[in-house]
Amino acid sequence: MIKYKKVSIVVALVVVSLLVGCAKPEEKATPTPTPMMTLTPTPEKTPTPTPTPSKVEKIKAIFMTSLHYTREGKETFYSAENGGFEKLTSIPIEELGCKKCHAKTKADGTPIKTEEYKPDCYDCHKTPGDEVEDKVCLGCHGRQGVELKLEKKMPELFSDVHREAGLGCTDCHTADDVHGVGEEGKSSLLESTIKAKCENCHEAEKNTAHLLHKEKVDCKACHVKTVISCYNCHLDSLVEAHVKRPYAPLSGFKILMNFNGKVTSATLMVLKYEDKTFYVVAPFFSHTVTKDVSCSDCHDNEALKEYEENGKIVFTKWNESSGKLEWKKGVIPLVPDWRNAFVLDFLDYKADPHNPVKPFDQNWTYMKTGADLTQILYGEPLTEEQLEKLAKKI
């Protein structure tokens, strides 16, 4: 009996414990906060995220490799190593101040002190990421600014279909052109540096000219009306007085040369220092695009006829009676023997190098004919075969 009694007691205890365990626990009253007591939830423990660079910081890092930051484009052409003008001057580019070139102000109007200047976002942006106005670009890109000024005087040469359509600099030149792509480039003429090109927006119309030339002739060769050259830069003024002094902007011409497998538009840069003379020929795009093109602009033109007759093309010539420089107009082929065929007169400035640059073409005199050194880095002259095709009257 005792044994069964003990079993009954154990069973009863188990049943009671099960009932108690299944019963709903009594809810405790939530304490009312008092001025001396606040309830704060216990924060969940999460791993600390690894900081990631902001978009602006990423662009800054890329910008450090761009030509806008490094200014390598100027040094590439000037350096003695590349056959540039330094071979004649023996003056390092750092002493000329070219790599410190800047606009008068930052984008927000803050004046720039040359001795403290270093390229940064605020050269172009009032606030990083805002839209850049054309006038900011023109603060540095002087030749393009000259094109706009000359358009008012000579619209037949300097008007542009893109400006007439309301397009601005950043419609063609994207962030990659301005900020860079993270790889240091030596010149804006490299495709990896400047990606703006006509084909980004345009497809060639199917006409005879395009069918004949599309694969061998770049759009610019035909559709750019004129290039521009700040002729006869007087380096003496820059060295002695930090004044950038050309004789004058020359226009009304364009050179044709080979570049990246196609014929394209080009210009020349002419310099003088002490008794030494120099010029460089390079591909160049001027913002003077037109739809009105004639075959006779290039084929069997005056410059080509002059070359066929005497083996020379008189590019520039000093007129002693007028005291002014005259120059060849129209399309000028970069002939195979251009170093001998091109005839250029060089000038010297005969007044105080501290004088203002303007008015242009004042106080200059004839110095000599011919260059002591010439340079071509990007591109090649036209071939004999190409000249034969140009000589055909169409």
pLDDT in tens, 349-358: 999 999 999 9
Q: What percent of the chain has pLDDT over 90?
A: 77
Q: Is the pLDDT of residue 177 over 70?
A: yes
Nearest CA to 194 among 215, 179, 214?
179
In a domain, 16, yes or no: no
**pLDDT mean over 283-300:** 95
Q: What is the pLDDT of residue 68?
A: 94
Confidence of residue 47 (pLDDT cuts 50, 70, 90): low
- Give the burial string for 155-168 (b: 16+ CB within 10 Å, else e): eebbbbeebeeeee
Q: Is the pLDDT of residue 24 over 50?
A: no
**pLDDT mean over 281-310:** 95
Is 365 within 8 Å of 347 (Cβ atoms)? yes
Range in 1-10, 218-227, 240-249 with the lowest mean pLDDT: 1-10
Confidence of residue 363 (pLDDT cuts 50, 70, 90): very high
- Beta bridge pairs of residue 233: 271
In a domain, 380, yes or no: yes
Range in 55-64, 78-87, 240-249 with the lowest mean pLDDT: 55-64
**pLDDT mean over 66-86:** 95
Name the residue type at position 296. Answer: S
Which tokens hold the place of 49? 């995220």
Domain count, the chain: 1
Q: What is the pLDDT of residue 51?
A: 52
Q: What is the pLDDT of residue 46?
A: 55
In a domain, 271, yes or no: yes
| Terminal-residue alpha carbon distance, the chain | 133
Q: Is the pLDDT of residue 27 over 50?
A: no
In a domain, 234, yes or no: yes
**pLDDT mean over 178-202:** 90
pTM for the structure as a whole: 0.84
In a domain, 322, yes or no: yes
Q: What is the domain range of residue 178? A: 55-103+120-391
Tell me the average pLDDT of the chain: 88
Distance CA 8, CA 20 (A): 18
In a domain, 27, yes or no: no
In a domain, 37, yes or no: no
Those residues whose C-beta lies under 8 Å from the C-beta of residue 155, and which sit 6 or more positions away, are: none
Range in 93-107, 233-247, 378-392 with the lowest mean pLDDT: 93-107
**pLDDT mean over 316-332:** 98
| Stronger pLDDT, 85 or 184, i.e. the higher one | 85
Distance CA 63, CA 59 (A): 6
**pLDDT mean over 116-144:** 93
Q: Is the pLDDT of residue 236 over 60?
A: yes
Q: Is the pLDDT of residue 91 over 90?
A: yes
**pLDDT mean over 196-204:** 91
Those residues whose C-beta lies under 8 Å from the C-beta of residue 103, and which sit 6 or more positions away, are: 112, 123, 136, 139, 140
In a domain, 10, yes or no: no
Name the residue type at position 13. Answer: L
